[in-house]
Each structure stands twice: as C-alpha cells, then as structure tokens.
Structure 1
C-alpha cells in the first residue's frame, strides 16, 4: 500500500463514452502517483465512496448546469467519499487523522482544497463511517421543505428501491404519513419495500400500457398528497392524475432518462396534463440540496438518532475493492441492487 505522500494508488477512469448504458468495459482501473497537497490543500485517504446512477448524466456532458463537471475519456470519476486526512499543506487547517467527506471518490487518495472537505468529527456522529454516504438528505429535504408531509398524508415515492427511495418511505412515515406507496420495476423489490421498510403498497412499472396508472389508482384510491419523484416519465404523469387537492410534488431525480438504454442520460422528457395541476392547485417543484445546505446537519442528527433507536433501516450493498467499482455501476444502472451501493476502498 502506498504511503501518505509517495508511491502509487488506484483510481477509476472513463475509458470510452458508452453509446447506451455504461458497462464495465467503458472504465479502467489504473495506477497513478499519490499526489502531494499544496498550500491550503489536504490529502485524503478514501475509505468508502458512493456508486450512483446519476453519474451517467456526467458521461459526455450532455446536461447543462449540472452541479458536477462533465466526464471525458481519461477523466477520473467523481462522487461522494468518506476518508481521513493523511497530509495537509500549509494553512489547510485540517490536521492528519481528521475524518472528512468530499466529492472526489472513485480513487484511493484525493487532493483537494481544505474548504471542500467537510469534517465529520464536528457533526452528530453516525454509528459507522460509511453511513455518511446515505442519500437520505435528499429525501428528508424534499419531504420537509417542499412536500411538507403532514399527519394523515398519502405519500408516493417513485424509484423507491434506490438509495433515496429506501429511506424516503421510512422518513415519510416518521413525519406522520398515514399511507406510503413506492414504485419499482421488480416484484421481489416491491415485496421488500413492504415487508422490510414499511411501505403499504408497491406499484410495478413495465407491466404494459396503462398498467402503471391503474396500479397507482388501486394503491391510492383516495389520491396522493405528496410525491417524491426520483423517476419522471410515465410515473410522474400518472401521479399528476392521482393528485389530491393541494398536493405537493417534489422532483429529485430523472431515472427514466438516466436509465434509458436508448437515450444518452441527458434528459427525461414527459407529457403532463396541466389541467389537473391547475384545478387541484398542485405545487410541482424541483429539489436541489445545493440550495438547501441547512438540511444536511439537520438530517444527519435525526438519522443518527433514528439509527441508534432502531427506528430506521439503512438498506445498502457493500462492494469490496476499488477494482469492482465499475462492475458495481453497471449492476446499479441495470437495477440489480437494492438501496445504496457503497465501495469499500
């Protein structure tokens, strides 16, 4: 293993742009020199990093105004990581041994400005470091700031078997929802949503023309008060038809486009009937964590409390070794995992 400031370490790079969904062959795990931190920088030894489907939107840079830069062949992949500082440049202010989270995952060592590393020892501690890679802040922020879940609400979570959705249903219940419905493309995952995570019903996609809307009407006969939408497409359109008066819709993802084998992952077009939006006074807004920075410490504190009390589960898959990360991404975009996917470096 490389020392803190010398030797080589592994990282995952984009080898070629995929024509469809990314596969293992589109990436390469290479050795690179361990970088040294300059003034105001820190060198972080990554311990865990997140594998996430939205990474596809960065491949080729087809999405405008994305919060992360586009990825071209030869670039090292990006994403949330947890590790500890092993060396610091002059004026960095983060001594070696400080646990941090940052956005330069997919590599064993990362050099970054100290201001881009969020120290974890000042936050309400979670039981296990990899738990900081949970995607619950998105669900919690959308459900509290935009969805404003109230006692007795019926909440619909699309893409409920993913990293956001597996926590969203549990959060909605903790916030007072009386009925929580999830959507997924797998009957086995639907059973797990109900039996393990407390969803009242699961609606399957891909069952034929009109089947999803009929399934949603059956699962929510009195309509939907709050939508947390990870998907878009047909599922968003059906949710508009099922909306109750004054419903609040929070859009957090676009999996229908990101996971479309025939598309480039850059868009998720959908036709929505605006009439029910008007007649029912539906609020439809996009949620971004970048504009709700206050959510993260609030969520981390509540997540830690709920974990320690045994009141919430964190469904996740652990992948051992950075060399398996490209395969894990291929499996994720093909729906082979349940919950969050984490690589243990």
Structure 2
C-alpha cells in the first residue's frame, strides 16, 4: 500500500482538570503502513467512545499516554494481512480505536474475528454484543446473580450499559425494573420504549426519596453506573441480602476530590448486602454465551439494541464529550462507513 495514502488519529495532548474539552485532543494524520510480518492492516468501520476513557485520561495507572493515538474499542475490516490468524476481508473487533486505520495482531488481547449473523448489524459487536452488553450481562448473571421474580434498579439507565441491563434483566425474568436518568425525555424513553416499569429524573429531588417512590417495596439488585447519592439511595432501598453490581461512578469522573463514601455504608452489614465491582475484562470468557443468549432475540425483533450514531471520524471527540454530557440514548458509536476514511494522497 502506498505510503502517500493517509489516515487519521486522535491523540490526547493534555490532562484535564475537571470536564475535558476539545483542547485536550489533537487530530493528526499518518501514512497508512504496509502490514509487517505477524500483523494485519484494518480499516475501521465503527469506533466506540466510553465513560472509562475519562478515567484513563488522568494518567493514573493504565492511563493514556500523551501524544499517542488513543485506545478504544473498534470494529473494522482487514485490508491486508501477514498474520496467519487473519485474512483479507475479515471483520474484526480490536482495541486500536480513535483512528481510521490500525495494525493489529490476532490472539489473546489482540484482534478477533467477529461472528456475523443475518439480521444483526456489525456495529452490534461494539454495543449489545460488545463490551457494553457484556458488562450488563456479567453484572446481572455473574456478579448480582439476578433471579427471576426479583426487582432491579439501574442508574444512568438511558446509557449504553443501562439500557442493555434493563433489556437483559427482562429476558432473565426480573419482576420490576426501575431506572434513573438525567432528563424528562430520557425518563419517558425508559418507560415508553426501553421496557422499564418505572423511572425518575434524578434532578427532581433526593435520589433516595425518588427511588423509594418508584420502588416502595424495595429492590433486590442494583446495577450502579453512577455512585455517589445514587449508591446511597440504593443501599437504603435494598432488601436484606441484596446485591450491588458496581459498574461505574460517572458522578465523580470529573471531580479532583471525589465525594465521601455514602453515609449509610454500614447498612451493607446490617442488611447482609454484597457489593462487587464489574470489570468487563474479567468476563471476556462470556462472549460466546452472550451471543448465544441474545442473537435469537435480536433476530426476532424482541430485543432492541439502542445506539446513538455520530457520523464521521472527525467528530470522534464530539461524540465522546456528548456521551459524557448525556447527549446519547443507549450506546454511542462513531460511524466511519459514510465516507472514505483516508484523508488524501
């Protein structure tokens, strides 16, 4: 491949103090390389922007390196390969995102071929069949061990993991599913389109009081995407032997000094509650199980994969910042398929 053909990448160039801005990123170009032995060249089709990116921008353990292409989940097509595990034309999932093209290697921790299914779009492998859906599935089935007939509360319920958790919980036989979200429109979406039994706008009052109104008899399981006062309210609402699957803490991602622990944390002891963190990288062994479970429902139309698309690689940072502000419903993806991703020759 001629090195006169160029691709694009986004670098982080500064550490944010508080909410990140476009000034923390730079768009760069690079000559698209030929694959070296043992690698394959992939043209990305869809990029994922995720809340965890914000935590890694601070430069702590596993933080992003400045002035280097950002890491992120991506789905792409192999253009050329010198890796025995990948062939030209393969569709692959990999983590060399936030760029138009990437050199990848097959194997553990590298690129993997994705299984394609009639009636299921390829971008689902970054959403409901990807890290987003896998997080929700692991949280419910392995961490919280949700049982049929139990009641569930999900915070940030209109986001990618939140909507996935609600829909998967319904398939698992949950009795009542309650969600919280940051706007009246999202609350309506949860109850009118996403299958939640009740929902509330968390700016309308103390979260604990709002949750008590939505779930007056309490809850059995809480999938926590927010932390802070949402966690405190859930601890109050949980019945004895309730479980908390802690996925994220978006309420404190931009705070230099995160809030103190919930004042009622000792209720974990009084009620014999269990709290366990959910790190999706610890549950990659569930990938095939997730697909076997969800694909029939996706094909039948009984299960909707909710996605907000941002068109064009040049808008990757806008997609990320919008996701952090809650501009999305469901999973946020950057769609690179609408135009040529090479930038010139």
The TM-score, its normalising length taken from structure 1, stands at: 0.90
* C-alpha distance 282-125 of structure 1, shift in aligned 2 (>3 A): farther
Give how far 1:5 is off: 6.6
Q: Is the 8 A contact 1:158 1:183 kept in 2?
A: yes
Structure 2 residue corresponding to 1:300, chosen from 291, 310, 335: 291
What per-residue deviation string (whole Å, max 9, x for no partner) do you get for residues 4-44 of structure 1? Answer: 87621111112332222122232222211112322221111
Which 5+ residue runs of structure 1 have no aligned equivalent? none
1:238 maps to which residue?
A: 233
Q: Provide the residue aligned with 2:68 in structure 1.
A: 75
Shift in Å at residue 221 of structure 1? 0.8
Cα distance 1:4–1:156, how it changes in 2: closer, same or farther (>3 A)?
A: farther
Q: Could you tell me how far apart the structure 1 residues matched to 2:222 and 2:283 are?
A: 19
CA distance in 1, matches of 2:118, 2:13: 38
1:170 to 167, 189, 197: 167
> Aligned residue for 1:224?
219
Tell me the matched-pair count: 330
**Secondary structure of the equivalent of 2:276?**
strand
- Answering whether residue 111 of structure 2 is matched by residue 120 of structure 1, we say no
Three-state SS of the structure 2 residue aligned to 1:292 is helix
State the alpha-carbon separation in 2 of the partners of residues 125 and 299 from structure 1: 17
Report the counterpart of residue 207 of structure 1 in structure 2: 204
Find the residue that maps to 1:101 and give its secondary structure.
strand
The residue matched to 1:295 in structure 2 has which SS?
helix
Match of 1:15 in 2: 13
How far is the alpha carbon of 1:126 from its aligned partner? 6.5
The alignment status of 1:188 with 2:185, answered yes or no, reads: yes
Scaled by the length of structure 2, what TM-score is found? Answer: 0.90
Contact 1:4 1:87 survives alignment (8 Å): no
**Structure 1 runs (4+) greater than 6 angstroms displaced:** none
Instruction: List aligned pairs for 1:23-34, cutoff 5 A.
Output: 23-34=21-32
Does the Cα contact within 8 Å between 2:211 and 2:233 map onto a contact in 1? yes
Tell me: CA distance 1:268–1:71, structure 2 relative to 1, closer, same or farther (3 Å): farther
**Matches of 2:159 and 2:331 in 1, distance apart?**
6
In 1, the alpha carbon distance for the partners of 2:2 and 2:74 equals 17
Q: 1:146 to 1:60 in 2, by over 3 A?
A: closer
How far 1:207 moved relative to its partner? 3.3
Deviation of 1:77 after TM superposition, in Å, equals: 1.4
Provide, for residues 107-140 of structure 1, a one-character-per-residue CA deviation record: whole Å limited to 9, x for no partner: 111012222111014x666711111111111101
SS in 1 for 2:284: coil
Alignment of 1:265-276 (within 5 A): 269-276=260-267
Select 1:99's aligned residue among 84, 91, 96.
91
Whether contact under 8 Å (1:23, 1:327) holds in the other structure is no
Contact 2:76/2:91 (8 A) holds in 1:
yes
Structure 1, 308-317 or 69-78: larger mean CA deviation: 69-78
Q: Is the 8 A contact 1:257 1:269 kept in 2?
A: no
Query: What value does the CA root-mean-square deviation take over the aligned residues?
Result: 1.9
User: Where do 1:22-171 residues align within 5 Å?
Assistant: 22-62=20-60, 64=61, 69-89=62-82, 91-115=83-107, 116-121=110-115, 127-134=120-127, 135-171=132-168
